[in-house]
Amino acid sequence: MSKTILIIDDEEDVKAIAQMGLEMAANWEVITASSGKEGLNTAETKQPDVILLDFMMPDWDGKETLKQLKDNPNTANIPVILMTAKTQSTVESEIDNLAIVGVITKPFRPLQLPEQIAQILNS
């Protein structure tokens, strides 16, 4: 069964590369948002199976967006995977208490992205 995934990232090229990998390698339906506020609205209306959330964005960063997603009863149960260019150890202290299911570091390999997401969701 095909999954629907929401990518929230302010960088157009990252969204395009991730979308290409997810559609080509796994035939997933990909929806995108360029900001945390847009992502929250999209998550509420589209109800994706999983959200890939950029950690560093203007306005609402990943933490604020995640807080808004988890505080909203319509989006609170959607699993969120954080995407970041920071190393895992650098980010760990910042994400320690966040309600995320996993972290994917940038740069990532687009065609391996579906497998990485599946591994995170199944662990």
Average pLDDT of span 57-77: 92
Q: What is the pLDDT of residue 56?
A: 87
Specify whether the CB–CB gap between 50 and 3 falls below 8 A.
yes
Average pLDDT score, the chain? 89
Q: Is the pLDDT of residue 121 over 80?
A: yes
Specify whether the CB–CB gap between 35 and 7 falls below 8 A.
no
pLDDT > 90 in the chain, percent: 63
Q: Say what angle helices 113-122 and 12-26 make with each other, to 10 degrees.
A: 80
117 vs 93: which has the higher pLDDT: 117
Q: What is the pLDDT of residue 90?
A: 54
Domains and their CATH numbers in the chain: 4-122 (3.40.50.2300)
Q: Is the pLDDT of residue 5 over 70?
A: yes
Residue 6's nearest CA partner among 24, 27, 30, 28 is: 30
Q: How many CA atoms lie within 13 A of 63 on its CB side?
A: 8
